[in-house]
């Protein structure tokens, strides 16, 4: 066992780098990453480890979160958003035969692929950055929905979101802006449809921000149409909004009813509006300090 203690350089990226250096002297066939505060289902390591070796590809298990006890409405809606991002979307990509994003825990990576990457310890969203690195090198991650790992969701302070959730979303947005164009460029150069699909998946913003961007675009298009411009953009955006609602409704019915009851789902607009300060803060005071789950 290797233990690292460096209070001035805390964070998962630093810990991963330390572990990788310790393994280089006698590397394993496959590296499995599970956060210390996660609970892995029985057989998870064996399942994703064997699959990674058999396919010679990184493998991502379904990484879900549990609301704290007692849980607020925002806690449950946040857990539902994680379910959509870390289970529903990757499972859809899996059924289409397309790669998925690595989501931080429950990950198995062949050592030959992992040894060719570098991890910036100070960077946030290290899982998404690692996904981009591996994909550009030809190692496209795959999802394994039959293996699951679960973490606890830290409680949010009253009237806001936790530091941990702020860092998650700010890291997501920063990685989207830096790694998204890189992946899109690589997909065009290599002419690989699977890499393009992964690039587009990485470029999807957090669910709440996606809803806010749609609302802003639809409102602008509708106002322009009422003032005499073409109503076609407003109609197309209305169709996009309908498809978004149908997709989220189907995801909730199939996977989310035990996470958030219907009365909370109907309050989703208030949850989205509560995230506005978080996204404004991304432009004014970006959060990059690592925050452990409580």
Which domains, ranges and CATH numbers included, belong to the chain?
A: 7-205 (3.90.550)
Q: Where do we find the tokens 């806010």?
A: 212
Could you give the angle at which helices 163-190 and 193-202 cross, rounded to 10 degrees?
A: 160
Alpha carbons within 13 A on the beta-carbon side of 142: 19
The mean pLDDT of 58-75, rounded to a whole number, is: 88
Q: For the chain, report the end-to-end CA distance as a whole number of angstroms.
A: 24
Confidence of residue 123 (pLDDT cuts 50, 70, 90): low
Tokens of 253: 């019915």
DSSP secondary structure letter of residue 260: S
**pLDDT of 121:** 56
Q: Do the Cβ atoms of 141 and 55 come closer than 8 Å?
A: no
Q: Is the pLDDT of residue 160 over 90?
A: no
pLDDT mean across residues, the chain: 86
Tell me, what DSSP letter sits at residue 150? Answer: E
Stretch 160-186: mean pLDDT: 80
**Model confidence at 72: pLDDT above 90:** no
Whether residue 129 has pLDDT greater than 80: yes
**Structure tokens given for 238:** 């209305």
pLDDT of residue 158: 47
The model's confidence at residue 290, banded by pLDDT at 50, 70 and 90, is low
Is 61 within 8 Å of 106 (Cβ atoms)?
yes
Q: What is the pLDDT of residue 159?
A: 43
d(CA 179, CA 133): 9
Rg of the chain (C-alpha set): 20
Band of residue 293 on the pLDDT scale cut at 50, 70, 90: low
Q: Using the predicted structure, report yes or no on whether residue 237 has a pLDDT greater than 80.
A: yes
Task: Report percent pLDDT > 70 for the chain.
Answer: 91
What pTM does this model have?
A: 0.85
């Amino acid at each position: 066992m290797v233990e690292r203690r460096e209070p001035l350089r805390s964070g998962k990226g630093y810990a991963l780098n330390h572990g990788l250096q310790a393994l280089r002297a006698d590397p394993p066939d496959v590296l499995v990453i599970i956060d210390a505060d996660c609970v892995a289902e029985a057989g998870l390591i064996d399942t994703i480890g064997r699959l990674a070796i058999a396919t010679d590809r990184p493998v991502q298990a379904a990484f879900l979160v549990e609301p704290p006890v007692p849980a607020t409405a925002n806690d449950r809606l946040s857990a539902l958003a994680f379910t959509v991002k870390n289970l529903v979307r990757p499972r859809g990509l899996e059924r289409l035969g397309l790669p998925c994003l690595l989501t931080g825990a429950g990950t198995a990576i062949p050592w030959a692929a992992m040894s060719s990457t570098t991890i910036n310890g100070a960077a946030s969203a290290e899982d998404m950055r690692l996904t981009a690195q591996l994909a550009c090198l030809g190692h496209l991650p795959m999802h394994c929905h039959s293996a699951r790992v679960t973490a606890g969701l830290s409680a949010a302070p009253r009237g806001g979101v936790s530091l941990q959730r702020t860092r998650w979303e700010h890291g997501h947005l920063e990685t989207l802006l830096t790694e998204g164009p890189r992946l899109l460029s690589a997909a065009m150069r290599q002419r690989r449809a699977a890499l393009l699909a992964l690039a587009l998946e990485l470029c999807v913003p957090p669910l709440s921000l996606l809803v806010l961007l749609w609302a802003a675009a639809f409102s602008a298009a509708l106002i322009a149409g009422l003032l005499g411009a073409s109503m076609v953009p407003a109609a197309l955006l209305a169709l996009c909004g309908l498809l978004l609602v149908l997709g989220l409704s189907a995801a909730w019915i199939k996977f989310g009813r035990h996470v958030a009851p219907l009365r909370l789902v109907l309050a989703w607009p208030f949850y989205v509006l509560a995230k506005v300060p978080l996204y404004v803060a991304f432009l004014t005071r970006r959060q990059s300090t690592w925050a452990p789950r409580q």
